[in-house]
Amino acid sequence: MQSRPIKLGHVGIAVSDIDAAVAFYTKKLGMRLTERFTYPVEKVGHGVHVRAGAFVRCDTTHHNISIFQLTDPDLSKSDKHRLGLHHIAFEFASPQDLLSKFRQFRDGGVTIVNCRVGGPGNHPRFYARDMDGNLLEFYWGIDQIGWNGLPRAYPPITEIDLEAFDFEAFRREFDETEQRMIAQSANIAGVAVSC
């Protein structure tokens, strides 16, 4: 049986003015800002000429829209990174489904851009290009935002070998961190937690 996404996870857009974009999506549309960042001049992020980013959500998922400001958007040149659609992301139900799609694409000649973990949302993922060169992201296990509305700390973006990646250890670490956060929250509130 062919592996397929369980939902359209998020959309990434490249904008000319990140402040105006964040204001539009939060104030006009009513989404919530999860986090913002700016990369140092000497380091662009996400491997795609990103200077700054913001992540907004409409539910507990870390982000539903990724908003990026590029280092050098030049609309006059076709080979430059452009404003508009940056990427489309698809969520998979399990690591096995994600790996199955990765292998299907790789073996079928679809261009795989890279595989990563860490960064905003801290989820294992791979990127590929469709027949027209659009960037697609395929992932499993994106972080959820807790009761306090804050994202969890995450490691920097790291390239991985998706087939060698230890999904079980990743999930254990995720669950342990979540349990520590719950315990800390309960202690702050003065409530004892028993397991």
- Residue ranges per domain, the chain? 7-163
The helix/strand/coil state of 88 is strand
The correct CATH number of 7-163 out of 3.50.50.60, 3.40.50.300, 3.40.1550.10, 3.10.180.10 is 3.10.180.10
Alpha-carbon distance of 116 to 162, in angstroms, equals 8
Sign of CA dihedral 149, 152, 153, 155: negative
Which of 106-120, 122-136, 140-154 has the highest mean predicted lDDT (pLDDT)? Answer: 106-120
| 46-77 residue pLDDT tens | 555 788 999 999 988 999 999 998 876 555 55
Helices (H), the chain: 18-23, 95-107, 167-189
| 104-115 residue pLDDT tens | 999 999 999 999
pLDDT band at 3 (very low <50, low <70, confident <90, very high): confident
Q: What pTM does this model have?
A: 0.74
